[in-house]
Amino acid sequence: MSSSRHNFSLVPIEADAGVLSWWRALCAIAVLNVGLWLAVLHLGPGSGIYAGLQLALSGVYVLVCAYRSVLPRVDLERLVVVDTRLSSIFLGRTAATVAEICFALQLGLLVHQLGVHAGLPWVQMAAWATPVFMVVAQGFCWHSVLTLNHITQAVESSLWAAGFSWMAALLGIIALDSSGWVRALAVAGILGALSFVAYVLCVDVPMYWRRYQHGRAHGQTYMRLDQGARDAWQRRVPSGHWPAWKTDALWLTPYFSFGVWVSIAMVLVPGT
Which pLDDT score, from 0 to 100, does residue 12 have?
64
Neighbours of 24 (CB within 10 A): 12
Cα 12 to Cα 59, 106, 235, distances in angstroms: 27, 33, 17
Angle, helix 242-256 to helix 17-43, in steps of 10 degrees? 10
Which pLDDT score, from 0 to 100, does residue 129 have?
96
One-letter amino acid for residue 66 of the chain: A
Which pLDDT score, from 0 to 100, does residue 7 have?
47
Give the C-alpha separation, 240 to 187, whole Å: 41
Q: What are the φ/ψ torsions at residue 91 (nearest 5 degrees)? A: -65, -45
Contact in structure between 66 and 30 (CB atoms under 8 Å): yes
Closest among 144, 153, 136 to 223, alpha carbons compared:
144
10-residue mean pLDDT series, the chain (272 residues): 47 79 96 97 79 94 98 95 94 98 97 94 96 97 96 96 98 95 96 96 94 89 94 94 93 96 93 68
Q: Which residues contact 121 (CB under 8 A, 6 or more apart)?
A: 115
The reported pTM is 0.92
One-letter amino acid for residue 192 of the chain: G
Contact in structure between 171 and 193 (CB atoms under 8 Å): yes
Which pLDDT score, from 0 to 100, does residue 10 have?
59
79-80 vs 237-238, strand pairing mode: parallel
